[in-house]
Amino acid sequence: MTKSTQKELNKENLLNQGVALFMEQGYHGTGLQEILNAVNVPKGSFYNYFDSKENFGAEVIQHYIDPFITRLSVHLSKSDVDALSAITRYFDELIVELEKNQFKGGCLLGNLMGEIGSSNDVCQQSLQSAIRRYRDLLQSGLAKAQQQGTIRSDKSSETMADLLINAWQGALLRMQIEKSSAPVKQCCQDLLGDYFKA
């Protein structure tokens, strides 16, 4: 294995471990040494990959959201499915996974927004970027659904995308304290199955 390939693999492992530990213990509850030990990277080597824990946190945020954006993009790119059905199927899949995980963790973005969102400028900017990227993709899907005539056109796709993200994040928090998928199911049903519909 080449040196650059090993470095990329180490960085990927550090980011994966960061996602797992931040989900389980939070940003402040996770020490760098714990992350490094889990992936067998020497402490001094951490700074070959990241400038600081804050920069690491910012990259973990983007690393976390990337698969969700990819998955939603795949759903929206299917030509045999209308956009509203694609978005609904995407959220249905997320709910199944939340149920399999027994409602643990919720969403790393929501967790970090509550924990460090206003106290860490580097991570705050990364959270804003991640939410914006996610919202923009949802907005494009909802705009497509408007063109297809399946959702209402008296509200902008941007407004509906923001509402969906805000409601979903709140529903995830309730899901965690109630240990039930009812809040997230209600969120999707009330918005995608009712309020947004044409």
Q: How far is CA 130 from CA 12, 17, 81, in A?
A: 18, 19, 26
Topology, domain 1-49:
Arc Repressor Mutant, subunit A (1.10.10)
Q: For residue 150, what pLDDT is reported? A: 97
Number of H helices, E strands in the chain: 9, 0
Of the candidates 57, 58, 11, the one whose C-alpha atom is nearest the C-alpha of residue 31 is: 57
Q: For residue 1, what pLDDT is reported? A: 62
Residue 127 near residue 117, CB atoms below 8 Å: yes
Topology, domain 53-195:
Tetracycline Repressor; domain 2 (1.10.357)
φ, ψ of residue 116 to 5 degrees: the values are -135, 5
Domain ranges of the chain: 1-49, 53-195
One digit per residue, pLDDT tens: the chain, 198 residues? 677 788 888 899 999 999 999 999 999 999 999 999 999 888 888 888 999 999 999 999 999 999 999 999 999 999 899 999 999 999 999 999 999 999 887 899 999 998 997 888 999 999 999 999 999 999 999 999 999 999 999 999 999 999 999 999 999 999 999 999 999 999 999 999 999 999
Residue type, 180: S
